Amino acid sequence: MLFSTAMKQTLTLAVVVMALLAFVEVRSQERAKTIAERLGYARDAKLLIVHADDLGMTHSVNAATIKAFETGLVNSGSIMAPCPWLSEIAVFARANSQADLGLHLTLTSEWTSFRWGPVSSRDRVSSLLDKDGYFRLTESEAAAQADPKHVEMEITAQIERARALGIQPTHLDSHMGTLYQNKELFEIFLRVARTQKLPVRVARTWFSRADFLPSVLSQDDVYIDRILDIDPTVAPQDWAKFYSDALKKLESGVTEVVIHLAYDDAEMRAATANHPDWGAAWRQRDFEFFTSDAFRKILQENNIKLITYRELGKLGK
């Protein structure tokens, strides 16, 4: 028996609808999986990104971070394109194309003896500049004064400069968190990141303190569970204990520990003069802990697996 044309059309439509429903179901199941599962780990796996910020800032930062990368214990980092030592870290990036290097998009120049300004033409991003032509000192000033068009132009220019130097960024984050200061800036950040098909640093635990985040993020955006970073209230002698304790009680899911590596040398002391928080000695302490056998042992004993933004980035594509 032959089907009438009307029946054929109805059947075709039904098949299409069923296929669509099945696809949505699969996607929905896929989305219901944790990132750990999507990466092939157990649902309760403890996954860690050990992420060094501020690459390109000084030679001291570059040298310490490259040394830490060689241990395999620090496995991710992000680069500041406006900074004077960008070219040095670009040489490393070109020679280590599998290294997990993102861009630390920068709209502040926070040290007083050592400064930097935009990659874009100054007169096209005037709202981002202080009276001396550098980026502003603080993230709150930068966010309050920034013209959104200037922000989009400048962060795009930073990505373009990095790519021109042979850096293929695996992710994006924001120096001093300027791009998370308000919804408008975060929307620009996310729009640029989606255009570039790159994951951004966002943690689910941030949703409570930046309540605009969930409304801007979509289910296609990949974001991690939490950020671990040390606080200026931790005394220098308690540095290793702080990190050890935090790692021993690490929850399952994806955690990014954000660290700042450099040597406590003349360059770094001068760059961070009069500012012990995130200063030269702070960065030397981070370097020492995250390149130590003690840290390696904690990872092993607590079954913590290191992952990178390169793997996370593939989930969002």
* Contact map string, positions 73 to 112, toward a copy of itself, x by CB under 8 A: ----------xxxxxx--x--------------------x
Instruction: Between 129 and 192, name the residue whose CB sits nearer to a copy of itself.
Output: 129
Neighbours of 197 (CB within 10 A): 9
Considering only 46, 60, 80, 105, the residue that binds a copy of itself (CB under 8 A) is: 60
Angstrom CA distances, 236 to 240, 244, 265, stand at: 9, 14, 17
- Determine the interface stretch with a copy of itself among 129-137, 196-204, 228-236, 282-290 (rule: CB under 8 A): 129-137
Listed in sequence order, the residues at least 6 apart from 84 whose beta carbon sits closer than 8 Å to its beta carbon are 56, 116
Question: Is-contact 136 100, C-beta < 8 A?
Answer: no
The nearest distance, CB 95 to a copy of itself, in angstroms, is 13
Q: Does 132 bind a copy of itself (CB under 8 A)?
A: yes
Positions 175 through 194 that interact with a copy of itself (CB under 8 A): none
Nearest-approach distance from CB 77 to a copy of itself, in angstroms: 17
Tell me: does residue 120 bind a copy of itself (CB under 8 A).
yes
Closest among 147, 221, 210 to 177, alpha carbons compared? 210
Query: Which of 241, 199, 231 lies closest to 217 in space, CA to CA?
Result: 199
Beta carbon of residue 97, minimum distance to a copy of itself (angstroms, whole number): 19
* 43, 274 contact by CB (below 8 A): no
**DSSP conformation letters of 45-80:** -EEEEEEEEEETS-HHHHHHHHHHHHHTS--EEEE-
Size of the residue set binding a copy of itself (CB under 8 A): 35
Of 116, 36, 98, 69, the closest CA to residue 259 belongs to: 69
**Cβ of residue 123: shortest distance to a copy of itself, in angstroms?**
4
Rounded to a whole number of angstroms, the minimum distance from the CB of residue 25 to a copy of itself is: 49
Closest Cα partner for 158 from 115, 117, 127, 112?
117
State in angstroms the smallest separation of the CB of 199 from a copy of itself. 26
Does 59 engage in binding with a copy of itself (CB under 8 A)?
yes
* Residue 287 interacting with a copy of itself (CB under 8 A): no
Q: CB nearer to a copy of itself: give 38 or 115.
A: 115
Give me the 220-259 binding string for a copy of itself, x by CB under 8 A, dash otherwise: ----------------------------------------
CA-to-CA distance for 37 and 209, rounded, in angstroms? 27
Contact 35, 47 (CB under 8 A): yes
Based on CB atoms, which residue is closest to a copy of itself, 12 or 87? Answer: 87
CB atoms within 10 A of CB 70: 11
Considering the complex, what minimum distance in angstroms separates the CB of residue 98 from a copy of itself?
A: 22
> Interaction with a copy of itself in 257-276: which residues (CB under 8 A)?
263, 265-267, 270-271
**What is the rounded CA–CA span in Å between residue 133 and residue 126?**
8
* CB nearer to a copy of itself: pick between 63 and 254: 63
In terms of Cα–Cα distance, which of 126, 122, 133, 76 is closest to 103? 76
Kindly list the residues in this chain that would bind a copy of itself in the complex (CB under 8 A).
58-60, 62-63, 83-88, 91, 112-116, 119-124, 131-133, 161, 164-165, 263, 265-267, 270-271
